Each structure stands twice: as structure tokens, then as C-alpha cells.
């Protein structure tokens, strides 16, 4: 302490506050912690108010305030609340960006992606909401535009939204990246058109006999139960299940609808859509669908298993 004034030197201030001298000197030079005076030898001296000011500067800096914002608060040009509000918005944006980065890097790691694939995934993940909506709308127009849907169904399709929330989880971003890649693939779109033509009710026609496989969970859950009970797709339990599920329906048409969905990888598409929306996790049903396809072939062929897939 300076003997004449009772003020603290910068070294003493450093020991009192736990802030190193170099940082204090920088804060002082920037006007955040101005000295109360100078010693006879020209050294900076600080009073009790300076100690309190150092503590406030440290607190604001630890909360992420830029030194310019700290000066604005200390000089009375802004309140802590005003600057804090701006920082909350900035932190929210940073958190969203970090979540996107994490999701992309997670996907890159799982796929062992090339540099080109990584760049594509990063671009897809960082699209604006309007750009993401445009990709979805283009997909719907291309795949569903020529289906001739009933007006209520067409309106439902038009209003269908597959959007990331403002604060997506890494899992939602990951699902969006995979979905965006998938629905921009021309081959996938072509397969989906065939699938939807076979599984979507057309005006004036009865519901396709195999459509309930895809638009409800009842069929998949029934197959799951049969498989858990040890039923084989070429056995009597499978034949009984097929009869219960489809009654007198044309099994050839049912199988055609099922095969089209398997070929289109529709189950994966539905799972990704649910993932983007953050809905409850939809289990992978691909093995159940293949099992059902085998059972349908066996029953349609009159019970001859042939080279039936035993999955």
C-alpha cells in the first residue's frame, strides 16, 4: 500500500483480487479499471472502488461479456440486463451452431465419410429454414404431385411439415442430414412414386389392400409378436397371421404393395421423418417387413416354402 495515500499498487491489487498484473494492466489501459491516481514515481494506484470494479469486471468477463460491453455497463451507457439479453441471444445461436457441428461430426465418424461427403453434410445441416422447406416442397411435388389424391388427402399432404425446431437436438440434426440426402436422390424419388401409387387411396377407388402395412403400426406389431413367439415365415402360424391381417384380400396385390415399400426403403424414410420431428423413436421394422413378405409369398404360392427367406 502506498504509504502516503493508503492506495494499492497494481501488484497489491493483483494479490488482493487474484487477477494477475498483466490482465489488470490491460483492463486499466482499456479504461475498464482506471487508476485512482499515480505515485510520485508514476506508478498506478487503486482505491477501494477499484477493487470492487475489478470484481465486477471479472464477473462480467467470466459470463462472456466483451470488454467493450463491460465498459458500457461500468460507464452507465447500458445496464447489465440489456447486455445480458444480447448475450443470451448470441449464446443461443452459438449453441445451435455447436449442435449442428456435433451432429455433422458424429455422422462423419459413423460413416467414415470422405472430405466431399463431409462438406455436403455440413451444407445440408446449415441450411436456413426456408431452404430446408424448399427441399421438402420439391420432394412432395415430384413424388406426390401426380397421385390424383382426394381433396382432403391432398390438403393434408400440402400442409405436411418436416421441420427442424429452432433449438434442435443433435439427433434431430443428424436425422435431417440423412433425410435431406435421401429425398434429393432421384432413384429414391422414383421408387417412392411407385410405392405411393400402390399404397395411396385414389379417388373413387377402394383402399389398396396392402396400404395398412405402411400407415398403421398394427401389422408390424403383429409380426413382431409372431416372431417373438418363434413363428417361421413358412409355418402355419405365419399363414394364420396372414389370414388374420388380410382376410380375403388379393395377396398378390398386398405383396406388390409391400415389396414396393421395401424397395423404396420407405421404413427408413418414415423413421427419419420422425427423427427430424423429435417424435418418439420409431423402431427399425425392416426385418419384420422382410419376414412378412416371405410369409405372403409362401401363402400365395399355396404353402410351398421353396427358397423362402427365413428371416
In contact, 87 and 64? CB cutoff 8 Å:
yes
List the CATH code of the domain at 8-74. 1.10.1660.10
Joined together, the cell numbers standing for residue 158 give 400440402
Instruction: Give tens-digit pLDDT for 225-284.
Output: 999 999 999 999 999 999 999 999 999 999 999 999 999 999 999 999 999 988 777 789
What is the C-alpha separation between 196 and 240, in angstroms, rounded? Answer: 28
Residue 89: predicted pLDDT: 81
pLDDT band with cut points at 50, 70 and 90 for residue 1:
very low
Please determine, for residue 126, whether its predicted confidence score (pLDDT) is greater than 50.
Answer: yes
Q: Where are the domains of the chain?
A: 8-74, 127-300
Q: Which residues of 157-177 are buried (b: 16+ CB within 10 A; e: fewer)?
A: beeeebebeeebebebbbbbb
Residue 310: predicted pLDDT: 42
In contact, 271 and 214? CB cutoff 8 Å:
no
Q: Would you give the DSSP letter of residue 282?
A: P
Amino acid at each position: 500500500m502506498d504509504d502516503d495515500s493508503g492506495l494499492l499498487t497494481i501488484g497489491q491489487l493483483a494479490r488482493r483480487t487474484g487477477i494477475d498484473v498483466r490482465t489488470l494492466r490491460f483492463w486499466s489501459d482499456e479504461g475498464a479499471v482506471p487508476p485512482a491516481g499515480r505515485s510520485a514515481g508514476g506508478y498506478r494506484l487503486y482505491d477501494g472502488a477499484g477493487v470492487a470494479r475489478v470484481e465486477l469486471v471479472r464477473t462480467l468477463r467470466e459470463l462472456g461479456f466483451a470488454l467493450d460491453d463491460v465498459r458500457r455497463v461500468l460507464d452507465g451507457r447500458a445496464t447489465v440486463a440489456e447486455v445480458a439479453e444480447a448475450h443470451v441471444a448470441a449464446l443461443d445461436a452459438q449453441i445451435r451452431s455447436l449442435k449442428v457441428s456435433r451432429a455433422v461430426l458424429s455422422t462423419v465418424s459413423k460413416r467414415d465419410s470422405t472430405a466431399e461427403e463431409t462438406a455436403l453434410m455440413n451444407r445440408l445441416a446449415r441450411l436456413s429454414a426456408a431452404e430446408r422447406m424448399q427441399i421438402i416442397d420439391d420432394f412432395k411435388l415430384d413424388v406426390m404431385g401426380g397421385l390424383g389424391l382426394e381433396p382432403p388427402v391432398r390438403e393434408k399432404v400440402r400442409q405436411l411439415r418436416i421441420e427442424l425446431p429452432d433449438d434442435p437436438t443433435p439427433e434431430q440434426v443428424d436425422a435431417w442430414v440423412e433425410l435431406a440426402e435421401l429425398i434429393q436422390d432421384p432413384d429414391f424419388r422414383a421408387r417412392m412414386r411407385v410405392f405411393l401409387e400402390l399404397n395411396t387411396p385414389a379417388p373413387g377407388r377402394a383402399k389398396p389392400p396392402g396400404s395398412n402395412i405402411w400407415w398403421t403400426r398394427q401389422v408390424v406389431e403383429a409380426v413382431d409378436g409372431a416372431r417373438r413367439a418363434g413363428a417361421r415365415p413358412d409355418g402355419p402360424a405365419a399363414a394364420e397371421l396372414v389370414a388374420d391381417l388380410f382376410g380375403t384380400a388379393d395377396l398378390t396385390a398386398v405383396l406388390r404393395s409391400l415389396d414396393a415399400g421395401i424397395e423404396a426403403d420407405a421404413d427408413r424414410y418414415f423413421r427419419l421423418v420422425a427423427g427430424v420431428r423429435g417424435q418418439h423413436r420409431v423402431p427399425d421394422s425392416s426385418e419384420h417387413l422382410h419376414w412378412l413378405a416371405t410369409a405372403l409369398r409362401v401363402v400365395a404360392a399355396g404353402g410351398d416354402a421353396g427358397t423362402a427367406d427365413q428371416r
